[in-house]
Amino acid sequence: MLGPQCCESAPHPHPGVGIGRVETFQHLPAYVTASPDAKAAVILISDIYGFEAPNLRKLADKVAAAGYFVVVPDFFYGDPFVRGSVENPLAGVQDWIKSHGTDKGFEDSTKVIEVLKSRGISAIGAAGFCWGAKVVVELTKGEVLKAGVILHPAIVTLDDINAVKAPLAILGAEIDKISPPELVQQFGAILSAKPEVDSFVKIYPGVAHGWTTRYNENDEVAVRNAEEAHVKMLEWLNKYLN
């Protein structure tokens, strides 16, 4: 489910942000930033605001600096969601989601993985934010990822989590009406009952849905809260990709 919190603090797309470049992965544009010696890859899957969100690209550069080949695909093909009015931020989202479903995102993500493998990279992880979390969970149901991370997820169900096979970390927000703490705790209970699947679940206090990528850079507390989650995300990926 998408809700008003998915549309709050909408970023302004800025294709000039970041030290990487835009490449094409089987007709899919993607922001690419990489460590020169990278032997493993991380796919970052955006929320509904797409791959040009400045904080997302900065996070991609940070992950690359940790030693990875990082890909941030444009799953919306230049058509990210545009926030409605203050009074009705969800205006048009139902029509938008019909042509930007996570099923198509999952299909496109498998193509990105094919390209990475063709370049000799077999250790691949993924992190998804809001809309992108659903795509990551779909990928963890198979054997294509070494590990996944989902941050303030949307659209993810209990049945989805029950089908997870790859190691998965879930980073949730205390103030989240999309995936409230009670639901995230249920996710954790399901994963805990699956000893064959390594998992980590944390609900971050005092933060709201979207806090890891849609923070105000001038707000020191918001930046610190986001960076705390970024560190945990990297720790989880390092555990399985290094």
**CA 67, CA 78: separation in Å to the nearest integer?**
28
In this structure, which amino acid lies at residue 110? T
Whose CA is closest to 44, among 18, 67, 75? 75
Q: What are phi and psi of 71, to 5 degrees?
A: -125, 130
Helix, strand or coil, per DSSP, at residue 98:
helix
**CA 68, CA 204: separation in Å to the nearest integer?**
26
**Residue 141 has which token pair?**
């149901």
Active-site choice (6, 7, 100, 209) = 209
Active-site choice (130, 152, 160, 230) = 130
**CA 124, CA 162: separation in Å to the nearest integer?**
22
For residue 36, what are the β-bridge partners?
A: none
Active-site choice (47, 74, 108, 176) = 176
Radius of gyration of the chain (CA): 16
**CA 48, CA 100: separation in Å to the nearest integer?**
9
DSSP state of 6: G
**209: annotated active-site residue:** yes
**176: annotated active-site residue:** yes
**130: annotated active-site residue:** yes
Active site residue ranges? 130, 176, 209
